[in-house]
Amino acid sequence: MNKAFYITTPIYYVNDKPHIGHAYTTIACDVLARFKRLDGYDVKFLTGTDEHGQKVAKAAADKGITPLQLCDQNSQNFRDLAATLGISNDDFIRTTEERHKKACQALWKTLEANGAIYLDKYAGWYAVRDEAFYDEGELTKGPNGERLAPSGAPVEWVEEESYFFNLSKWREKLLALYDSTPGFIGPKSRFNEVYSFVKGREGDAQPLRDISVSRTTFSWGVPVPGNDKHIMYVWIDALTNYITALGYPEQTPDFAKFWPNAMHMVGKDIIRFHCVYWPAFLMAANIQVPQRVFAHGWWTVEGQKMSKSLGNAIDPNALVEKYGLDQLRYFMMREIPFGNDGDFAESAIAGRINGELANEFGNLAQRFLSFIGKNLGGVLPEPGEFATEDKEILAACKKLLPDCCAAMDAQAFNEALEAIWAVVRAANGYVDKQAPWTLRKTDPARMNTVLYVLAEVTRHIAMLMQPFVPTSAAKVLDQLAVPADARDFAALATPIKGGITLPTPTGVFPRYGDPKAAKGA
């Protein structure tokens, strides 16, 4: 049986249009999903939209439409974006679906039956923008002395009957989970942040407080079973999506196969929900916790926070149109170490497209493939005996797969790309030094070996680039006549065949800003 891997994006709120922050998480998950599939895993990749809650209800009211109308429109925007970004998701969940309501109510009933939920009264601060409750001590002061959530969102005082989840009782179990499974939260800085939040400060009377999990002042949500005056808190509803999609509450084969291998990718803004609340809900319902949650950093735009009021949120559709899809995917995965914050500057994307994709990788393939086309009738030569330099660069290729696997398992996308790029650069150095155009006159046998080595090196690079730049990598592999059924990572072990005829090469990575170049692949 193949190894299994379950990867999820956050489900995005439908009150807003998709922007590059959403695109970033979804692309990262897609790169990982594609990598794992090529590496022989059975993958299930889930994305979708979070459609309940006060924020969505307010946005619909502001527009004068019903919440469901707003959800239908905006959920479609996220679905369309996934298509535009070439996302290979296996399912797209909407929390307004019947399967989800059923899963939420089943989870609730289990929590209630296990004594983890009780009815009381809530009095405290709530930020609709974050859909989160805050303690007085967490709040900051705004410019006019008004109270603000730590995220900067306005807060309102809420006092109502509410169900509570007994989070305080799970503190020791959560700490034991973090202690026994340090890989549960990545990167390390986020692990530490969550750990100290749960541990609390020395002398705290109650470091982790029970949380309110239902609301009565609006109705846009999943009703609490047996008391439909209450609707479930949007986060208990939202988090449940990850098991809804596996068929919960049914014990489906998908659940048995994928849930023990689940990984949630999220932004750093929602780490508390995923690393504290979610494992506590699951433990309280006697459900296994996911294997890992990775929280990536935050993009700013030209140095500024993206916000509705600044109107500077970048539409990923426009970026794909302008730079090309593979170019955008490559840039996002390459530009900043995954986990760190980064700035989206248009000058940086153009630099990566021209400097790395066009000049380094594109040229490498172009140079020797057009040489073979022009001088050898397009036939890839058979190699002679390998010289030391050949063996060195081929050995570097062999190391790429294990190096990339290690980097990808740590979600260090930029490190995988750096490892690939070290070989791209070494290969360009190899072409310059071996100079096949000179060997053509002086030593044609040696020229054949050099061209063969270049084809084998380029095959390795293109194979490992497939998850990042699927369309362009496929074009390079087409030009090397690599059959469609020999493109998974297991096929790396079988060297390319000499003597095959290659198709006529064409440029794969256009330069950005070159008026003659076709728009990006």
With beta carbons less than 8 A apart as the criterion, state whether 87 and 32 touch.
Answer: no
From the list 21-29, 356-364, 365-373, 495-503, the region that binds ligand ME8 by CB under 6 A is 21-29
24 counts as binding ligand ME8 under rule CB under 6 A: yes
Rounded Cα distance between 230 and 223, Å, is 6
Q: Of the candidates 93, 266, 285, 451, which one interacts with ligand ME8 according to CB under 6 A?
A: 266
User: Omega before 436 cis (within 30°)?
Assistant: no
Complete DSSP assignment for 7-40: EEPPPEETTS---HHHHHHHHHHHHHHHHHHHTT
Rounded Cα distance between 136 and 265, Å, is 30
Rounded Cα distance between 419 and 35, Å, is 15
Residue numbers 184-243 binding ligand ME8 by CB under 6 A:
238-239, 241
Q: Of the candidates 22, 34, 329, 460, which one interacts with ligand ME8 according to CB under 6 A?
A: 22
10 counts as binding ligand ME8 under rule CB under 6 A: yes
356 counts as binding ligand ME8 under rule CB under 6 A: no
269 counts as binding ligand ME8 under rule CB under 6 A: yes
43 to 62: interface string for ligand ME8, x by CB under 6 A:
-------x------------
Residue numbers 282-341 binding ligand ME8 by CB under 6 A:
298-299, 306
Size of the site for ligand ME8 (CB under 6 A): 19
281 counts as binding ligand ME8 under rule CB under 6 A: no
Rounded Cα distance between 135 and 124, Å, is 7
Token representation of residue 204: 């705290």
Residue numbers 233-262 binding ligand ME8 by CB under 6 A:
238-239, 241
Shortest distance, CB of residue 382 to ligand ME8, whole angstroms? 49
| 3-state SS assignment for residue 123 | strand
411 counts as binding ligand ME8 under rule CB under 6 A: no
270 counts as binding ligand ME8 under rule CB under 6 A: yes
Q: Is 304 exposed, middle or buried (0-12, 13-18, 19+ CB in 10 A)?
A: exposed
Shortest distance, CB of residue 446 to ligand ME8, whole angstroms? 50
Query: In this structure, how many other beta carbons lie within 10 angstroms of the beta carbon of residue 9?
Result: 25
- Categorise residue 311: left if φ over 0, alpha if ψ from -120 to 50, beta otherwise: left
Q: Of the candidates 200, 207, 267, 373, which one interacts with ligand ME8 according to CB under 6 A?
A: 267
Q: Using CB atoms, what's the residue nearest to ligand ME8?
A: 21
Name the site residues for ligand ME8 (rule: CB under 6 A).
Answer: 10-13, 21-22, 24-25, 50, 238-239, 241, 266-267, 269-270, 298-299, 306
